Structure 1
Amino acid sequence: MTTTQAKTIDVVMYCRVSSQGQGESGLGLEAQREYIDRAAKQNGWNIVGEFVDVVSGKLAIEDRPEGKRALAACKELGAQLVVAKLDRLSRSVHHIARLMEQIEFKVATMPHAKTFELHLFAALAQQEREFIANRTKEALAALQARADEGDVESVEKIARRTEALKLGRSDENRAKGTQAIQERAKLWLKSVRPHITECLHDNGDTLQQVADCLNVKGVTTSRGGKWSAIQVSRVMKSLELQFPSKIGVL
């Protein structure tokens, strides 16, 4: 009686990083190779080639220098493409779907996933990224609005974020950037102070009444919009202003 042995599958290893220094995120080259080597040993894959790209994931794999070579090698050797994680191939569902029509590929972190499952994972991942991007954009817009209105904590948060995004800049330039943001907020607060003071003394018994007064006067917020009670509250706090007789309420 003979024992049927599982057929060995030839695979071409493909790794991608966005920059030469990438690695701390857990998606560095060594980490990707480790994922693939482990999966190959556990599933009987025979690695017959390796290709590495240092490019953005926004490019389709066939438009990347080494990606194009990896696809050609798969076709020439009759091998499947293998990546550590799905986003090393692409972050685009469209790119993933198009690649599925060209070759078979495997993902080391999901070695038994079928084509349909990989397509579903890619769609869910893209949806999550879009959701996070939109939420981040909204949060940054709100943070910038508070900073423009003179909120010190918001100014500092933006300065820290700017510094993190511009690590290549000198400390002097980062300090200048922070100072510019703070100066812009101070100038705007100075310009709006007399208008708020006038509204407070004229008919401002509540935050909403002050907001209505500013809107009637044609005074806009730092972003050129209409005032709300919450915006009035933030600016009054920054200017250390209070109602003449009592603290206003919404």
Structure 2
Amino acid sequence: MKVIGYIRVSTKSQGESGLGLKAQTEYLERAAQQNGWELVTTYIDSGVSGSIALEDRPEGGKAFQHAKVEGLEIVVAKLDRLSRDVEHIAGLMKRVKFRVCTMPHATPFELHLFAALAEQERAFIRARTKEALASLQSNADGGDEEALQKVANRAEYLSYGRTAANREKAQAAISQRVSSFHASIEPHLQACLYKGVSTLAGVADCLNAKRVTTSRGGEWSPIQVSRAMKALNLSF
């Protein structure tokens, strides 16, 4: 049976699935050998998001038209190489036949079911990531640079479907908020140090006595003082 291979790679998708160009090529070649398929040609989209419809991709559109004109099936390494949207996959099934290397004998119903389950799992992951991001944001209370970096890293997972510009704006807003907070507490920290306080616990007590709160309105702890002083380049 003659088939058409299709490969999609992008920086984001490779990080999530571990399927780069070489890996997908090996999947296609192995599946063709095991199932007696003849790969007529392989279309490759590089740097293309899975959220874009197959027909609208540079090479995906060619693969789609080739399959329709010659009545061939499209073969992909994994289902998400075709699309991450269950509705789009369901629509594709009505217009062109395709197979997945990891489950070459799956029926259209089974493929639709797998697509729905994958979409649900991504929704669960996004929900869990939001919770983790909220927790990390709380830990960034005192301006901890490590915590802030973790927030930025987690934010990448929440940026699915957003533009790079929007991600940069979100991260810039976080940095600006932390910088403004540090600027507001610096005079109070300087005053505590000027009084001769020489321990982190002592500075925390000094700030709490002055009723200077953390960015979340709570009391200071030694570790929060350490983070704030480090960010402001202050020392005893």
Deviations 1:169-208 (CA, angstroms, capped at 9, x unpaired) = xxxxxxxxx9978755644655897774266xxxxxxxxx
Q: Which residue type is aligned with residue 236 of structure 1?
A: S
Matches within 5 A, 1:206-225: 222=215
Give the distance between the partners of 2:142 and 2:15, measured in 1 at CA: 38
Identity %: 48
- Coordinate RMSD, CA, aligned: 3.7
- 2:131 is equivalent to residue 138 of structure 1: yes
Give the distance between the partners of 1:138 and 1:128, measured in 2 at CA: 15
Matches within 5 A, 1:170-181: none
Give the distance between the partners of 2:113 and 2:102, measured in 1 at CA: 15
TM-score by length of 1: 0.64
Residue in 2 aligned with 1:62? Answer: 55
2:9/2:21 contact within 8 Å kept:
yes
The answer to which structure has the higher helix fraction is: 2
Q: Which residue type is aligned with residue 2 of structure 2?
A: D
Q: Which residue type is aligned with residue 57 of structure 1?
A: G
Matches within 5 A, 1:9-24: 9-19=1-11
Equivalent of 1:86 in 79, 86, 98 = 79
Report deviation, 1:17: 0.7
- Alignment coverage as a number of residue pairs: 192
Report deviation, 1:130: 1.3
Structure-2 change in CA distance of 1:90 and 1:27 (3 Å): same
2:5/2:75 contact within 8 Å kept:
yes
Equivalent of 1:157 in 135, 147, 157 = 147
Equivalent of 1:236 in 208, 221, 231 = 221
1:15/1:53 contact within 8 Å kept:
yes
2:133/2:151 contact within 8 Å kept:
no
The higher radius of gyration belongs to: 1
Unaligned segments of structure 2, at least 5 residues: 157-173, 189-203, 227-236
Unaligned segments of structure 1, at least 5 residues: 1-8, 166-177, 200-213, 241-250
Report deviation, 1:146: 2.3
Residue in 2 aligned with 1:170? Answer: none
Structure-2 change in CA distance of 1:66 and 1:157 (3 Å): same
2:139/2:147 contact within 8 Å kept:
no
Give the distance between the partners of 1:80 and 1:151, measured in 2 at CA: 55
Q: Which residue type is aligned with residue 221 of structure 2?
A: M
Structure-2 change in CA distance of 1:99 and 1:144 (3 Å): same
Give the distance between the partners of 2:63 and 2:15, measured in 1 at CA: 22
TM-score by length of 2: 0.68
Equivalent of 1:42 in 34, 37, 41 = 34
2:10/2:49 contact within 8 Å kept:
yes
Question: Which deviates further from its counterpart, 94-103 or 20-29?
Answer: 20-29
Aligned residue for 1:101, secondary structure, equals: helix
Report deviation, 1:20: 11
Residue in 1 aligned with 2:43? Answer: 51
